[in-house]
A and B are shown apart, each in its own frame.
Chain A
Amino acid sequence: METRRIPSFGLLYYWLIVIVLFLPIFLLILFSFNDSTRLVFPLRGFTLQWYGQLSKNPELIRAVRTSILLALGSSFIATVLGTMGALVVVRYEFPGRNVFVAVAALPLVIPYIILGVSLLIMLHSLGVRLSAWTAGLAHVVISLPYAMLVVIARLVGFPQNLEEAAMDLGATYWGALWRVTLPIIFPALTAAFLICFTISFDEFAIASFLVGTQPTLPVYLYSQLRFPTRLPLVVSMAAILMSASMAIVLFSEWLRRVGQTPQPKKK
């Protein structure tokens, strides 16, 4: 292919995006190592004390544990349901299929704050007590479309006759799914799971409404912003979160690419 010079305004635009996107993150990480409770320049000196204090804070640790359990559970359920939905959508033609997809994908466009408030009202009127479970339920709802869309994208390129071949060789439908379809799309399932995990783990708005007395990590961090002396603590936790999330997303994207069926070689 012909290589063309990128016009200078394009380069400018690119660097602007990079700066807006990554400079705050960079500053966050920078200040998490700064020996001061105030986030201002000039820097006062290198320290690891904020990271050290993180591990000595039982409330924080409890919040991290709540978040991890909630994210694991909700993303597992979302991945299972999303995969089932994707299989139905890709493999079968039925009246209302498009409506089904649209409804499943609706949480993508509903503001979380509205979803959070309406779920709160509904759960309250049903007399359900708020807990990590109610927040988990909401997280299943919001991460399900991501899981389903990732798996649909994988299944669309999946040759259907592989399942037929498995059944032809004696496998039941479920046997074919278990022995052929799921192993082949496994990287996509893992990618879906990881995406759901990061969504749940980072989510603040819904959790703040629904989580009750067991705060998740984002909810806990927000509550700590009231205390100026704990600000560096929040910053260092945020730095860890940020790095972990990015690592997970990059890993899941890599998995998704690895998972594409290689094209059969031409002779």
Chain B
Amino acid sequence: MSEPAVELRDVTKVFTSTRGDLAEEVYAVQEMNLEIAQGEFFTLLGPSGCGKTTTLRLIAGFERPTKGEIFIHGQPMSKVPPNLRPVNTVFQNYALFPHLNVARNVGFGLEVRRVSRPERERRIHEALDMVQLAEMSNRRPSQLSGGQQQRIALARALVNQPAVLLLDEPLGALDLKLRKAMQIELKQLQAQVGITFIYVTHDQEEALTMSNRIAVMNKGRVLQVGDPVTLYEKPASHFVADFIGESNFFRGVVEAVSGQLVEVQVSGTRVRATAGALPPSSGQEALFAVRPEKVRLIISEESIDGALRGVIQEVIYIGTDTRYIVNVEAQSPVAVRVQNGCGIAPQEYRRGDVVQLSWLPEDAHLLAD
């Protein structure tokens, strides 16, 4: 494999805010290490204030790291100003120049870099064609809709053929339907141009839809990096399991460990889970998560090995699925999703039914707290 497109080595960013005599240090990014491969669609995902936008601004050069170094195609960037970095940014609210028309907005980077006029016009035209807005080239940005402005911002960045394209919540201002369409379009565009995309979002569904790999961030730290399937199926921490998709969390005490298989005492019942990256020892407190769609509901007189007993508190029919909320002694209510169709009658179970909850050991993951 060739060298990574972008590498962050021990990057820390501290903001100091002074309020009167009090100087407060805020760690926006802490000891971050990342390697982003060439041609990858990489997403920084996390709640607001987690440091994802700061990370993007560090790569773009608008902020300087307090510690650590950023490499783009192997070159250290600490002494390179934003205008000389081989990256371009699509800003959150597009930041189109209101005094220039669409063509000159798109051609801005080429004009600054003194690309000859015919060459410039050819590339502007190509870029506008790519985002299907060729007929808008004489309009002012204020005459375009939000979706069109978003495409122009994209064309303005891509026309420069950057090594890396940075996108800061570029779809945040669009309505849901347009956002969904643009997600697919962006992903196809990325595959077509082959440029490394680093994408910032707080929307986990968006991240799963588009990315090759995702870094989940919280409080300035990267908690887990992985492809969408790994992050969803094998979350490593409480935060990741909670932030991506929906999870039921159980607390208990480890009874036995044999390889990856762990037996945990939960509310007086022995249930099974997978150890994952952190092999526990028996007697230890443990936390694990199971996705609502991985829990099976069983009504049975005799007790089933490794199943938790509970009472259905709520039945919610939502068309494609039926959701059940089940009360289990000494645990938070458990959500269960049962898909409708293929011979399963909706609302098979009723409120007040005593049920047993079971799952495959590999669908229950021990988590770091």
**Could you tell me which A residues sit within 8 Å of B by CB distance?**
159, 161-162, 164-172, 175, 179-180, 183-184, 261-267
Question: Distance in Å from the Cβ of B310 to the closest Cβ of chain A?
Answer: 47
A161 contact set on B, CB distance < 8 A: 91-93, 95
Which of B137-145, B206-214, B218-226, B264-272 contacts the other chain? B137-145
Residue in B closest to A267 when the chains form the complex, CB atoms: B145
B160 contact set on A, CB distance < 8 A: 169-170
How many residues of chain B have a CB within 8 Å of chain A? 33
B83 contact set on A, CB distance < 8 A: 167-172, 175
Residue in B closest to A160 when the chains form the complex, CB atoms: B95
Question: Does residue B98 face the partner (Cβ distance < 8 Å to A)?
Answer: yes
Cβ A165 vs Cβ B112 within 8 A: no
Rounded to whole angstroms, the CA-CA distance of A179 and B110 in the bound complex is: 13
Question: Distance in Å from the Cβ of B362 to the closest Cβ of chain A?
Answer: 45
Question: Does residue B43 face the partner (Cβ distance < 8 Å to A)?
Answer: no
B88 contact set on A, CB distance < 8 A: 168-169
Rounded to whole angstroms, the CA-CA distance of A263 and B95 in the bound complex is: 13
Picked from A164, A167, A169, A261, the residue with its CB within 8 Å of the CB of B98 is A261
A262 contact set on B, CB distance < 8 A: 98, 142
Contact residues of B: prevailing secondary structure = mixed
Rounded to whole angstroms, the CA-CA distance of A168 and B81 in the bound complex is: 9
B96 contact set on A, CB distance < 8 A: 165
Rounded to whole angstroms, the CA-CA distance of A175 and B81 in the bound complex is: 13
A162 contact set on B, CB distance < 8 A: 95, 97
Question: Distance in Å from the Cβ of B114 to the closest Cβ of chain A?
Answer: 10
Question: Does residue B60 face the partner (Cβ distance < 8 Å to A)?
Answer: yes
A263 contact set on B, CB distance < 8 A: 142
Total of A-B residue pairs, C-beta within 8 Å: 79
B84 contact set on A, CB distance < 8 A: 170
Residue in A closest to B82 when the chains form the complex, CB atoms: A167
Known contacts A164-B82, A171-B83, A179-B112; A264/B91 CB under 8 A: no
Cβ B142 vs Cβ A264 within 8 A: yes
Question: Distance in Å from the Cβ of A114 to the closest Cβ of chain B?
Answer: 34
Could you pull out 15 A-B pairs where Cβ atoms are within 8 angstroms? A164-B95, A165-B89, A165-B95, A166-B108, A167-B62, A168-B89, A169-B88, A171-B108, A172-B83, A175-B83, A183-B99, A184-B98, A261-B98, A263-B142, A264-B142
Question: Distance in Å from the Cβ of A6 to the closest Cβ of chain B?
Answer: 37
Rounded to whole angstroms, the CA-CA distance of A159 and B113 in the bound complex is: 24
Residue in A closest to B146 when the chains form the complex, CB atoms: A267
Question: Distance in Å from the Cβ of A191 to the closest Cβ of chain B?
Answer: 17
B141 contact set on A, CB distance < 8 A: 264
Rounded to whole angstroms, the CA-CA distance of A97 and B143 in the bound complex is: 38
The contact string, 1 if C-beta is below 8 Å from chain A, for chain B 74-95, is 0000000111100111011101
Rounded to whole angstroms, the CA-CA distance of A130 and B7 in the bound complex is: 65
Rounded to whole angstroms, the CA-CA distance of A230 and B19 in the bound complex is: 63
A265 contact set on B, CB distance < 8 A: 142-145
Residue in B closest to A265 when the chains form the complex, CB atoms: B142
Rounded to whole angstroms, the CA-CA distance of A172 and B60 in the bound complex is: 14
The contact string, 1 if C-beta is below 8 Å from chain A, for chain B 182-208, is 000000000000000000000000000
Question: Distance in Å from the Cβ of A50 to the closest Cβ of chain B?
Answer: 46
Known contacts A170-B83, A264-B149; A164/B112 CB under 8 A: no
The 9 closest A-B pairs by CB, nearest first: A169-B109, A267-B145, A165-B95, A170-B112, A161-B95, A167-B82, A168-B89, A171-B112, A167-B83
Rounded to whole angstroms, the CA-CA distance of A172 and B80 in the bound complex is: 12
Question: Distance in Å from the Cβ of B87 to the closest Cβ of chain A?
Answer: 8
Rounded to whole angstroms, the CA-CA distance of A237 and B145 in the bound complex is: 54
Picked from B60, B89, B93, the residue with its CB within 8 Å of the CB of A159 is B93
B99 contact set on A, CB distance < 8 A: 180, 183-184
Rounded to whole angstroms, the CA-CA distance of A79 and B346 in the bound complex is: 74
Question: Does residue B234 face the partner (Cβ distance < 8 Å to A)?
Answer: no
Most buried by A among B83, B149, B156: B83
Cβ A267 vs Cβ B147 within 8 A: yes
B149 contact set on A, CB distance < 8 A: 264
Rounded to whole angstroms, the CA-CA distance of A168 and B60 in the bound complex is: 7
Cβ A159 vs Cβ B95 within 8 A: yes
B142 contact set on A, CB distance < 8 A: 262-265
Cβ A169 vs Cβ B147 within 8 A: no
Known contacts A161-B95, A183-B99; A169/B108 CB under 8 A: yes
Question: Distance in Å from the Cβ of B79 to the closest Cβ of chain A?
Answer: 15
The contact string, 1 if C-beta is below 8 Å from chain A, for chain B 154-172, is 0011001000000000000
Cβ B145 vs Cβ A169 within 8 A: no
Residue in B closest to A162 when the chains form the complex, CB atoms: B95
Rounded to whole angstroms, the CA-CA distance of A179 and B62 in the bound complex is: 19
Rounded to whole angstroms, the CA-CA distance of A262 and B144 in the bound complex is: 12
Residue in A closest to B160 when the chains form the complex, CB atoms: A169
Rounded to whole angstroms, the CA-CA distance of A264 and B109 in the bound complex is: 23
A264 contact set on B, CB distance < 8 A: 141-142, 146, 149
